[in-house]
């Protein structure tokens, strides 16, 4: 079932001199199995949006529905929300604190009504889903891994609870190119397994290559909502709203200036390669 926002607004410090309207009358639906990229200038409301969806804060106005039920209703089972929606905040590796990987990944399960065997099986499965051998890493300190590996360990801790929705805030920030590619490939695999992914990122190339849908916010309002091709083919609008342009988009524009016209919806590397090969076959 989808996550639905109905005319949601959120105001920080209402009625004070520090009042700030972070989200304004926002309505959208995120369907099961989507990979959604969320973009916009710093301060446009992206992080507030994911906190609202995760139930970490409640809207000033409007409703947020999960499976058709208002998550902020007093009768809503909050434990269900925490199991259905997993959130990975920016630089999650700084949240690793347990003495071993196994204990850290299992931390979120401490209040679950599962047997120890079920918890161990979930920890094993979540570590393996992000590329680790459970038996090799379970007794190691999580602090002894590289930055990209720590980030994957942090995600394993979220996945151990078996959420249907995975929300990530700037997950590739600070990673080197190899670590970034490996991390995004892992997200693709999780998406193929059926998880709904919502990813905030300033990295336009990462969003274009991996998401299927893009949401662009401006000053707390929904500016654009569409497919990757629809959003990223409008290079001027993206640049004007602080989203930035794609490497592929810049290449297409440079070729256009030299008289080489390629399809306007060329936004991914595979599309660029196909268009070039189609124009100049070997």
Decide: helix, strand or coil at residue 63: strand
Q: Which domain holds residue 68?
A: 3-245
pTM given for the model: 0.86
Percentage above 70 pLDDT, the chain: 95
Task: Give the model's confidence band at 264: pLDDT under 50 very low, under 70 low, under 90 confident, else very high.
Answer: confident
Amino acid 61: pLDDT: 95
156 in the same domain as 75? yes
Q: How high does pLDDT run on average in the chain? A: 88
Identify any residues that bridge with 63 across adjacent strands, giving them in sequence order: 6
Decide: helix, strand or coil at residue 62: strand
Percentage above 90 pLDDT, the chain: 43
191 in the same domain as 95? yes
Residue 222 predicted with pLDDT over 90: yes
Bridging pattern class, strands 35-39 and 196-200? parallel
Backbone phi, psi, residue 102, to 5°: -60, -45
137 in the same domain as 65? yes
Cα 28 versus chain centre, distance: 16
99 in the same domain as 190? yes
**Closest C-alpha among 33, 23, 36, 25 to residue 167:** 36
**Distance between terminal CA atoms of the chain?**
47
155 Cβ contact partners less than 8 Å away, ≥ 6 residues apart? 88, 92, 130, 166, 168, 171, 186
Alpha carbon distance 33, 56 (integer Å): 22
80 in the same domain as 67? yes
Pull the structure tokens for residue 247: 């490497």
69 in the same domain as 79? yes
138 in the same domain as 25? yes
25 in the same domain as 125? yes
Crossing angle of helices 147-159 and 177-192, in 10° steps, is 20
Q: How many domains does the chain have?
A: 2
251 in the same domain as 237? no
Given phi > 0 = left and psi -120 to 50 = alpha, else beta, which region is 24? beta
Q: What is the CATH number of the domain that holds 194?
A: 3.40.50.300
271 in the same domain as 190? no
Backbone phi, psi, residue 13, to 5°: 50, 55
Residue in the block written with tokens 């930035």 = 244
Task: Give the model's confidence band at 256: pLDDT under 50 very low, under 70 low, under 90 confident, else very high.
Answer: confident
130 in the same domain as 106? yes
148 in the same domain as 81? yes
Residue range 59-76, pLDDT digits in tens: 999 999 998 999 999 999
Residue range 134-175, pLDDT digits in tens: 999 999 999 888 888 888 888 889 889 889 999 999 888 877
**Residue 267 in contact with residue 248, Cβ under 8 Å?**
yes
């Amino acid at each position: 079932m989808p996550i639905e926002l109905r005319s949601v607004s959120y105001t920080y410090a209402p009625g004070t001199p520090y009042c700030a309207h972070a989200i304004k009358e926002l309505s959208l639906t995120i369907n099961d199995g989507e990979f959604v990229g969320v973009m916009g200038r710093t301060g446009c409301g992206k992080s507030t949006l994911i906190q609202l969806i995760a139930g970490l804060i409640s809207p000033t106005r409007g409703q947020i529905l999960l499976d058709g039920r208002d998550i902020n209703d007093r009768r809503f089972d909050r434990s269900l929300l925490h199991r259905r929606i997993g959130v990975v905040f920016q630089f999650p590796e700084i949240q690793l604190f347990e003495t071993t990987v196994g204990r850290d990944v299992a931390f979120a399960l401490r209040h679950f009504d599962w047997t120890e065997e079920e918890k161990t099986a979930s920890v094993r499965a979540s570590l393996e889903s992000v590329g680790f051998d459970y038996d090799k890493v379970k007794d190691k300190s999580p602090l002894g891994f590289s930055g990209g590996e720590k980030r994957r360990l942090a995600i394993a801790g979220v996945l151990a609870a078996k959420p249907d929705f995975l929300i990530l805030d700037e997950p590739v920030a600070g990673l080197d190119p190899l670590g970034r590619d490996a991390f995004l490939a892992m997200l693709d695999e999780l998406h193929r397994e059926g998880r709904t992914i919502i990813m905030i990122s300033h990295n336009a190339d990462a969003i274009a290559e991996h998401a299927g849908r893009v949401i662009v916010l401006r000053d707390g309002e929904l500016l654009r909502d569409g497919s990757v091709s629809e959003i990223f083919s409008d290079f001027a609008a993206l640049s004007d709203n602080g989203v930035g342009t794609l490497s592929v988009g810049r290449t297409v524009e440079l070729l256009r200036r030299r008289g080489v016209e390629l399809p306007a919806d060329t936004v991914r590397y595979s599309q660029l390669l196909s268009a070039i090969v189609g124009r100049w076959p070997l």
